[in-house]
């Protein structure tokens, strides 16, 4: 992976993810069910073009038989995010957009709908 324009510790990046989550309305967060947020340096396959990933069963797809599942995972990737940003302010904005994007997937909103809503 090529060097990143913005240098930022994992701890600082995790703080930014936490701050982005704090900005999500309480009413919306209370509707989230069985989901965990993680920060990783990069995807397991080593690619550097994925900023976040939702893995799980969207709320819109859960039926009466949804029980015993491991928590859904929302992972925000530090190094790919830093790669596409020029300043720390850019990182703050990109982390917020990525967090919203992945939370939307938890609620069953797909990429096409997100792009239409301006959260590409």
Question: pLDDT value at position 4?
Answer: 65
Residue 71 DSSP SS3: coil
- What's the pTM? 0.87
For residues 66 and 29, the answer to whether their CB atoms sit within 8 Å is no
Question: What would the pLDDT profile of 13-72 be if each residue is shown by its tens digit?
Answer: 999 999 999 998 888 888 888 899 999 999 999 888 999 999 998 888 888 888 788 899
Query: What does pLDDT average to over the chain?
Result: 88
For the domain spanning 10-61+68-111, the CATH number is: 3.30.2010.20
Question: pLDDT value at position 1?
Answer: 46
Domain map (residue ranges) of the chain: 10-61+68-111
- Cα 48 to chain centroid, rounded: 15
For residues 42 and 79, the answer to whether their CB atoms sit within 8 Å is yes
Q: What is the DSSP letter of 107?
A: T
């Amino acid at each position: 992976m090529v060097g990143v324009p913005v240098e930022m510790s994992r701890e600082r990046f995790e703080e930014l993810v936490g701050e982005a989550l704090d900005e999500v309305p309480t009413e919306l967060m209370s509707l989230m069910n069985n989901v965990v947020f993680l920060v990783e340096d990069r995807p397991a396959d080593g690619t550097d073009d994925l900023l976040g990933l939702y893995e799980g069963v969207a709320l819109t797809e859960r039926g009466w038989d949804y029980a015993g599942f491991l928590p859904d995972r929302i992972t925000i990737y530090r190094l790919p995010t830093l790669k596409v940003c020029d300043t720390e302010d850019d990182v703050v904005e990109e982390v917020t957009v990525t967090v919203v994007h992945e939370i939307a997937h938890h609620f069953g909103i797909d990429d096409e709908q997100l792009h239409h809503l301006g959260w590409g």
